[in-house]
Amino acid sequence: MKKVLIIGAGLAGCYLASLLQDTCHVTMITKGTQADSNSMLAQGGIAASLDPGDSPAEHAADTLAAGQYHNRQTAVNQLVTTGPKLIQRLITHGMAFDHQANGQLDFGLEGAHSHHRILHANGDRTGAALTKFVQSHLNHVHWQPHTTALELQRQNGICTGVIVRNQRTHQIEILSGEAIVLATGGLGNLFPLTTNDATITGDGIAMAARIGAAISDMAFVQFHPTLLSLHGRCYGLITEAIRGSGAILVDENDHRIMADVLQKDLAPRDVVARHLKAWQQRGHQLFLDISAIPNFTQRFPGVTENLDRHHVPFRSTHRIPIQPGAHFVMGGVTTDLSAQTSIPHLFAIGEVACNGVHGANRLASNSLLDCLVSAKKAADKIQALQPTEIGKAAVAAKPAITPHLPELADLQAHAWRYLGVVRTPAGLKAFLDWLSPFNYRQLSPRQLTADQLTIANLCLCASLIAKAAFAEPKSLGAHYLEETVPSR
């Protein structure tokens, strides 16, 4: 049987495993557990044109508009036409999405969508419900939890395996396979304020970059407008579906922040995030006013649980304190429509990949859909791979280099200041100058501690973002460049 190594435990990796498990020997490598991924935290839902009044063409048009037409048209078409079929197949196999009282699927609305097309499961716990459903069907998969992927292996130009380290025993080994799949998510923990799971630290992008895989569109990092914010810290996502249900963004004086903006509170995320940041910089507090939403606690049980956990008195105030934070990277490891990277037998699916579907700004609730579609296309390609001879690999010794790395908090603070919601050419240069003395590029991952590896990977991702942003002379989507005015 063909050996397939999948790095990551989210929806993309698990769905791929479900499609391959009966014909391939599948190993799932994750530095956490099956429960640790961004997919498990996804609240908003999954977008698909399943309503009779909707169409793939309209979904494609919304995706392109949100992405500022920087998208790859063929990837968008693949997403909106293949996605609904995969969702129907999941429903046929027992996946329970939320329904209306009349028994019809309950389609929600989110920012920049022209139609109610967002499916939810368990209210605002869609990602967890969908990922757990797929995981429940993984019957012939070998899991390696608490295992850190360190370095990808190449032989004769082909990716043949990955060096991993068991976090408990610290033992290092080489795992080989005919197909190596990155399903590691993004890089949200580069920033101090993020919706991402703690395990998401740019590992897949960094590993691919180190062996020379093509990387694309790293300038485009999406900042979600509404994270629960208390005392300058963020405590998870407040789903956009709440605004889709009628909530509005206000300040401490109940002034509507988005009143004068096209599409108002449901404008694209980059637009909303910039307005909120500007409002905050004027000294205002930011809130989500939920007074227009009946049965809020029943409709959004996950958000309610989180608000109660942090003692937010939303039942009496009808307001949730929020602020923007890092959410999703549109760029990543470059792939074709079959999830194949520039290195043969190395695949990338989900957020770690850049197949062009999201353009300069991801449309809300397209990420879970892309997880399914990219996994399905990868499965088809992997099934068709011709067998390859893999020689016995050994972990070659490398000269030890003393790490010179920044503190994680310093890296995050600099990234937020210079690579965040609003950027300047001078700020991007200042960030690259600050980063340049550190030796993260020269270090061997297997000689680093877990904390050092996290910082090295995030430094590499940060440099890719800064250089790509510096090369984009004009604002586009989530890359917003504010020209500095020279002093007189």
Q: What is the pLDDT of residues 428-481, one digit of tens each?
A: 999 999 999 999 999 999 999 999 999 999 999 999 999 999 999 899 999 999
Confidence of residue 393 (pLDDT cuts 50, 70, 90): low
Most confident by average pLDDT, 119-123, 236-240, 333-337:
333-337
Contact 194, 327 (CB under 8 A): yes
Q: How far apart are CA 150 and CA 203, in angstroms?
A: 8
pTM: 0.94
Residues 6+ apart with CB under 8 A from 453: 148, 150, 445
- Mean of the pLDDT values across residues 266-288? 93
Give per-residue pLDDT as tens, 174-223.
999 999 999 999 999 999 999 999 999 999 999 999 999 999 999 999 99
**Segments of the chain assigned to CATH 3.90.700.10:** 224-326
Contact 322, 239 (CB under 8 A): no
The CATH-assigned architecture of domain 408-471 is Up-down Bundle (1.20)
β-bridge partners, 108? 118
Tell whether the model's pLDDT for residue 396 goes beyond 90. no
Tell whether the model's pLDDT for residue 170 goes beyond 70. yes
Q: What are phi and psi of 10, to 5 degrees?
A: -80, -170
pLDDT of residue 261: 92
Q: What percent of the chain has pLDDT over 70?
A: 97
HEC letters along the chain: CEEEEEECCCHHHHHHHHHHCCCEEEEEECCCCCCCCCHHHCCCCEECCCCCCCCHHHHHHHHHHHCCCCCCHHHHHHHHHHHHHHHHHHHHCCCCCCECCCCCECEECCCCCCCCCEECECCECHHHHHHHHHHCCCCCEEEECCEEEEEEEEECCEEEEEEEEECCCCCEEEEECCEEEECCCCCHHHCCCECCCCCCCCHHHHHHHHCCCCEECCCCEEEEEEEEEECCEEEEECCCHHHHCCCEEECCCCCECCCCCCCHHHCCHHHHHHHHHHHHHCCCCCEEECCCCCCHHHHCHHHHHHHHHCCCCHHHHCEEEEEEEEEEECCEEECCCCCECCCCCEEECHHHEECCCCCCCCCCCCHHHHHHHHHHHHHHHHHCCCCCCCCCCCCCCCCCCCCCCCCHHHHHHHHHHHHCCCECHHHHHHHHHHHCCCCCCCCCHHHCCHHHHHHHHHHHHHHHHHHHHHHCCCCECCECECCCCCCC
**Segments of the chain assigned to CATH 3.50.50.60:** 1-220+330-398
Confidence of residue 33 (pLDDT cuts 50, 70, 90): very high
Tell whether the model's pLDDT for residue 485 goes beyond 70. no
Tell whether the model's pLDDT for residue 302 goes beyond 50. yes
User: To the nearest whole number, what is the mean pLDDT of the chain?
Assistant: 95
List the catalytic residue out of 125, 154, 243, 269. Answer: 269
pLDDT of residue 395: 67
Class level of CATH domain 1-220+330-398: alpha beta
Tell whether the model's pLDDT for residue 398 goes beyond 90. no
Q: Does domain 224-326 have CATH number 3.90.700.10?
A: yes
Verify whether residue 446 is a known catalytic residue. Answer: no
Give per-residue pLDDT as tens, 135-166.
999 999 999 999 999 999 999 999 999 999 99
pLDDT of residue 354: 98
In the chain, the N- to C-terminal Cα span, in Å, equals 70
Give per-residue pLDDT as tens, 343-366.
999 999 999 999 999 999 999 899
HEC letters along 168-200: CCCCEEEEECCEEEECCCCCHHHCCCECCCCCC
Q: Which of 214, 48, 183 is nearest to 117 (CA)?
A: 48
Confidence of residue 488 (pLDDT cuts 50, 70, 90): very low
